Structure 1
Amino acid sequence: MYEEDAQLASQDWSLHPLGELPGVDSVTYGIVTPGPHQPAGVPLLQAGDIVGGVVDQSTPRMIDAAVHRRHQRTSLIAGDLVVVLVGRIGDAAVVGVEQHGWNAARSVGVVRFTEAGQQHGISMWLKWWLKMPEARSRYLESSAGSAHSTLTISTLTQLPVPLPPLGFRTRLLRTMRLVERRMVLNTRIAACAMKLADAHFVRCVEENKEAPRPAAVIADVGEVVGGMRRSAAIEDGLPVAWAAPAEVLRHRLAHLDRTDQTTWAPPHAVCAPGTILVAPRPGGVETVVSRIPLVPGRGMLALRVERETDRMWLLHELRSRSKELVSTAQGQQGREMSRKAFSRFTVAWPDSAQVREPFARIAVPLHERANTALEENRVLEALITTEFTEMAEQTKGKR
């Protein structure tokens, strides 16, 4: 204990494997076989529940209490760091009091801290270090050649983690906490803006329900583009963001502004910013609009719409009809969008001058406000990344 306190309070630079970092108590993974969903059971944290550095509590899977009791080593404690081990490897969140007592799935690593580690903010330090290019390159390299990106507990435990002098670390942790508070606020602002836009759409539909309801099929108001598998380098191609269906499904807001992976694609296959993306889930279809050039992944569809007025109406029309759009999915358990069925889907298409344009005049600024908030989050995250990178460069000679 004394040695740990001394290392955490040291004014010297040090480098440690994550599993041996002062303040870390244990590193493990969750339940391999959790069993079927039990509505009255214990919440199970899965990799998909870790979104944007926080835990999404909306629809956790529930497991039998007896299974939970047999796996007490991963019964979560407030302050634990939970790390995605499959897919978006390295994404992490600190467990809050709301998730205290949950359990974790095999796809999630659980890092537990000593009392001294909690006091010195090692959980937040690790959460941000896992985002850094130096850390990501190491665990992505270990996953090269795998069908799915996978971070093993062995690799996570051996990941080198820098521990700078206490004074420097304390200042950077203070900045991290302020940045995270602002990012949470910005996310709330973006979510409220989207709720207002959705509510305005509902109101607009209600106000015009007595008027004639012109309709159109989707293929007549936009170009439907099928998804593609990821591809290695190709002739006359270029690297571009590749959006997997899971990224659309887990996105809590209507804007997709980043992806975890890239692909090579010919220029004509790249969808411009403003493209509507749709992906199926059990019981519904999720709809978002892209903010970056990208290629849609296999199983989902993209809808190119030229006029912003039309795009705004279609986006909210599709969001409001999520359950009806299930009829446009196909394959095992309806996990893929059918381009043919989706193209023939009928949407409300009221007069542009009387309905769609007035709606867009209010909806567009709300979307712009949401995007501004999300853009600030990207800048703030880049600020911390830059601080970490400069710190690593300045102190390499002191290790």
Structure 2
Amino acid sequence: MKRTDREAEFDAPGWNTWRLAEVPGVESVSYGVVSPGRHDPEGIPMIRAGDIANGVVGEGNLARIAPAVALKNRRTSLRRNDLLVVLVGRLGDTAVARPHHHDWNVARSVAVIRFTPDGLADGIDTWIRWWLGTDRARDLLRARSAGAEHATLPLGDLKQLPVSLPPDHLRADILRTMDLAERKMALNTRIAAHATELADAYFSRFAVAHAHTLIRKVPVDEVSRVIGGVPRGSVLEGGEPLAWVSPKEVLNSRTAHLDRTTETTWGPLDAACEPGALLVAPRPGEVRTVVTAIPVVPGRGMLAVGTESEADRMWLLHVLRAKRETLVTTAQGEQARAMSRKAFSKFPLCWPDVVVREQFASLALPLHARILVALRENHALQELVVSEMTGHPEGGR
């Protein structure tokens, strides 16, 4: 097996840097179906880059390929524990093939890393999955792509990605830390998801209990400020690096909060929405709404909505989430995948007096605070693991 000389200066005593495709325990690295043909409603599910987010495969709107096409692409017919890697857009995002993904396939925009039995036993699959999330790996992947919103990473460059491995005994210790961190992160993710569901349920019950006060209806723009999204990079040059959020990140959020993005843009500070803005994005059948915890520039096809107070924000957030299906009428374009600012601004909402809004906020705000605590703890755990892997506390996102 060959080592790369590049980044050798990062190797601590006993560490070695390998090309990803040559890491001991990696069996193969392949890309998916190049010519999937027409969607076959009864065919084999095919995972695309856009189906992968937050470490999991979203299975709500999968493409399907004919069995004959799948037979021609057996090299990426999935097995349990295969690592799926995004090659287009959000370079390096990953998900793990689960037992029910057996014999599914992937699109050309996704790579499949397969491991040997020894590699799985030694935790090489877990190591590479975490490694692909480090700043060091992401920076190298971006440098090898065009760097645009829809950048594409050639499979050969993924295969050449340097991966540093410590001595066996140290790797075993770090893998144990990874396992503990992942268990706690999974628990935090469930807490955040349940807190989100509980806040939505409180809103439904609260709305029923105060139905007599919800007769007044107002358009969205009477109680908020609505602005449209922009493509990444279209903000005026100069200024500061700003977090840029895509509609897909809103749609794939597991909670009602967004506290990190995978992309940035450049522009004046006032080009970003302030923390607390609501982000609204559509897909066929529903419109998702989350609240941002950080300043962000909203992406093209979505909207950002600002309010005057926390009570207004809480009510508007949950009434929009409750209206996620009927809000589809405010979307436009092919398959209603972009928000119409004009139609959304005039969408009628039930709007109670300030006393009712403040009463609801007193119930909802503690739940939202708990969600943010869980998300922050997950980021801290991630940084802890990455710092052990790379020796740099700032080494990962």
- SS state at 1:314 partner: helix
Q: Which residue of 2 aligns with 1:148?
A: 150
Q: Map 1:1-399 onto structure 2 (within 5 A).
A: 12-144=14-146, 146=148, 148-211=150-213, 213-231=215-233, 234=236, 237-353=239-355, 355-390=356-391
In 1, distance between residues paired with 2:40 and 2:60?
16
Greater shift, 244-253 or 71-80, is seen at: 244-253
TM-score by length of 2: 0.91
- SS state at 1:384 partner: helix
Q: Which amino acid aligns with 1:13?
A: W
CA RMSD across the alignment: 2.2
| Contact 1:139–1:151, Cα closer than 8 Å, also in 2 | yes
Q: Which amino acid aligns with 1:171?
A: D
Instruction: Report % sequence identity.
Output: 52
Greater shift, 17-26 or 68-77, is seen at: 68-77
Compute the displacement of 1:392 (Å). 11
Q: Which residue of 2 aligns with 1:6?
A: none
Where does structure 1 lack aligned partners over 5 or more consecutive residues? 2-10, 394-399
- SS state at 1:277 partner: strand
| Contact 1:48–1:250, Cα closer than 8 Å, also in 2 | no
Compute the displacement of 1:351 (Å). 2.1
In 2, distance between residues paired with 1:97 and 1:333?
31
CA deviation digits over 1:279-324, x for unaligned, max 9? Answer: 1211221111101011111221100112111111111111111122
Compute the displacement of 1:387 (Å). 1.4
In 1, distance between residues paired with 2:149 and 2:165?
34
| Contact 2:386–2:392, Cα closer than 8 Å, also in 1 | no
Where does structure 2 lack aligned partners over 5 or more consecutive residues? 2-12
| Contact 2:149–2:232, Cα closer than 8 Å, also in 1 | no
In 2, distance between residues paired with 1:132 and 1:376?
17
- SS state at 2:164 partner: strand
In 1, distance between residues paired with 2:62 and 2:181?
27
Q: Which amino acid aligns with 1:277?
A: L
In 2, distance between residues paired with 1:115 and 1:284?
42
| Contact 2:256–2:290, Cα closer than 8 Å, also in 1 | yes
Q: Which amino acid aligns with 2:369?
A: E
Q: Which amino acid aligns with 2:91?
A: I
Compute the displacement of 1:333 (Å). 3.3
Q: Which residue of 1 aligns with 2:5?
A: none
CA gap of 1:83–1:145, structure 2 versus 1, over 3 A, is: closer
In 1, distance between residues paired with 2:288 and 2:389?
36
CA deviation digits over 1:198-250, x for unaligned, max 9? Answer: 11111112223345511111111111111122237856622110111221122
**Count of aligned pairs:** 383
Greater shift, 245-254 or 324-333, is seen at: 324-333
In 2, distance between residues paired with 1:56 and 1:249?
10
CA deviation digits over 1:334-356, x for unaligned, max 9? Answer: 33222121111111101221x32
In 1, distance between residues paired with 2:367 and 2:103?
38
In 2, distance between residues paired with 1:319 and 1:171?
43
CA gap of 1:213–1:157, structure 2 versus 1, over 3 A, is: same
